[in-house]
Chains A and B, each alone.
Chain A
């Protein structure tokens, strides 16, 4: 049975999909938003998080019995077995998508990030440049509610101030900034989608330090806000709808098929279809929609669907400080260092965003401390000392697009609705390895300048920023979508999200995803009113 006849069908109610839905509905189009997961409730999430013994971000937001997500503790279930250390970015499904758990850091890309090849001879250039995206960054910062220092040059020129003043640095960061100034190292407050004052009916941040996984007050933006807004604007929002196939007639997508939790499939039609399912699920859906005409999957004449998977290599050093700096008070992340993101070195090795992590990691500090019986006495005082006399620095290191880093469909493993699960091949290039080595040493240098003693390091191939799997480009031969997000192969199929990034730079991806979503909205308004093709 065919249901609905929307102007635009958007698949995925994360930040990319819900912002787009609001824009189009507000412009008078009929929008239908399909979401695989169910409804979420922040207070319930907070409660579940506190009740869980293994408090990670997935203990706050439940997954659903009818659809799979990568579990932090059992990622093989979703991604299959991988050689160690494995690449297993996490995300969640449901109203608001992964921004339910994000930390809320929203730096912009740098102008050079869009021209990596032209500037440094590595990676690729985007088919659009910073100037073209800049007005959309301004809008995205308003929509998400970004707090930042408008007077500080962070390398990304601005045409308008941030909507809110910056989140102030923590005491530990002020201590670091003061010590590092004489060495020419500058620590600044990062822009973040966290209120520094009342904004759009959400309160200012109260520094409760659980940005990931759940903000108790709603001071940190999540896309649940825009799903609610979409509903109030009249967008038809269908939760618990797992889209499993796109149906085409010639080059056009004429319908999407969505399964409900009971396995019954429904067909939905619209003039235009937008995939906003994130960088893992969007290519998965395109590959699942293969037909005789398109045996490699839809939108895949270039064979680039699922390839060029990128993320930031994540490093975090905890270190002991020579005096009490009181980490863990305030938001989980506030400041980052100005150096690391740009410079001629990018010809030779990867750039990085170096930051201060303000997660005191109290649980692991406690258990670590109690491993030593010498601490089984006045344990609280000892914990107080180790928390107040430690801090953490991190690095998120750029990776380059390579076609071997890719997602396939697994022939064996299936999700609860019988749909094939993804499998991933992933390794970092020598360029990123050189970058990692360099930034690792730089973190140690900064720790030494602070008089600190390194305690432990954590490394992961993923900062949960997967990107690149349906990249944009001018040529249909080596890219999936054009600069507007329109698939080269299917004129009425669009993609929005990190999957369209040709390169990843060093910025956390979500503000750029939001800017691209708002830009796509403007494009679709023009297309649907016949003002553009």
Chain B
């Protein structure tokens, strides 16, 4: 049966918007936060994870996956800038746990920021980083949320985790 290649129309459309919003902000603080994330999370790292939780509903992320994602973001021409801008609008200090349960108000985002939020979400969910200049690449297969966070309803495709015939029954909920 035929397979379909992955559609990345949106990526191409939105990346044009972003190109116009480039600002050169130093990358060092972001890299520092990421490196420090495992030990004592910096305020920025906590804000990032808080935002990811707000977007996806997932509370725990694979550390290495997130680290790779943030390194890739840092290599985007305006990635660090966008991250700062999006964090300041969607994850302002002090972090409010009640707010984590609320949908984001996309009205506060400009086009470039909107693109960036979608870009982060697609990366988190699919584990694939879409990058016009460097080419698209896989950050993680295993920890992509479309696999990892849905394991309770569907084994990670391509891995043998269950017994023959389990598919006759609904997942244990």
Contacts and interface: CB of A to CB of B under 8 A. Distances in A.
Interface stretch (A202-210, A256-264, A289-297, A342-350): A202-210
30 contacts: A51-B138, A53-B137, A56-B4, A90-B2, A206-B162, A207-B162, A208-B160, A210-B158, A213-B3, A216-B159, A216-B160, A329-B154, A362-B154, A364-B6, A366-B125, A370-B125, A373-B114, A373-B118, A376-B55, A376-B104, A376-B106, A378-B56, A378-B103, A380-B56, A381-B57, A383-B125, A383-B145, A387-B153, A388-B153, A463-B1
Interface string B88-122: 00000000000000111010000000100110011
A219 B79 CA distance: 44
Contacts of A216: 158-160
Contact of B155 (A209, A214, A357): A209
Interface string A42-58: 00001001111111110
Given A207-B155, A381-B57, A52 B164 contact: no
Contact of B128 (A53, A206, A462): A53
B105 to A, nearest CB: 10
A326 B121 contact: no
B71 interface: no
A314 B164 contact: no
Interface string B1-39: 111111110100000000000000000000000000000
Interface of B: 1-8, 10, 54-58, 102-104, 106, 114, 117-118, 121-122, 125-126, 128-130, 136-138, 141-142, 145-147, 149-150, 153-155, 157-171
Contacts of A464: 1-2
Interface string A325-352: 0101111111000000000000000000
A171 interface: yes
A196 interface: yes
A55 B55 contact: no
Provide the main secondary structure of the chain B interface: loop
A361 B1 CA distance: 13
A367 B138 CA distance: 15
B158 A376 contact: no
Given A53-B6, A367-B7, A380 B138 contact: no
Contact of A326 (B4, B145, B153, B160): B153
Nearest to B152: A384
Interface string A384-396: 1001100000100
A206 B153 CA distance: 15
Given A367-B122, A373-B106, A376-B117, A56 B5 contact: yes
B168 A53 contact: no
Contact of A51 (B141, B166, B168): B141
Interface in A192-233: 196-197, 204-210, 212-214, 216-217
Contacts of A463: 1-2
Nearest to A195: B164
Nearest to B54: A377
Nearest to A105: B1
B103 to A, nearest CB: 4
B136 A54 contact: yes
Contacts of B147: 362
B4 to A, nearest CB: 7
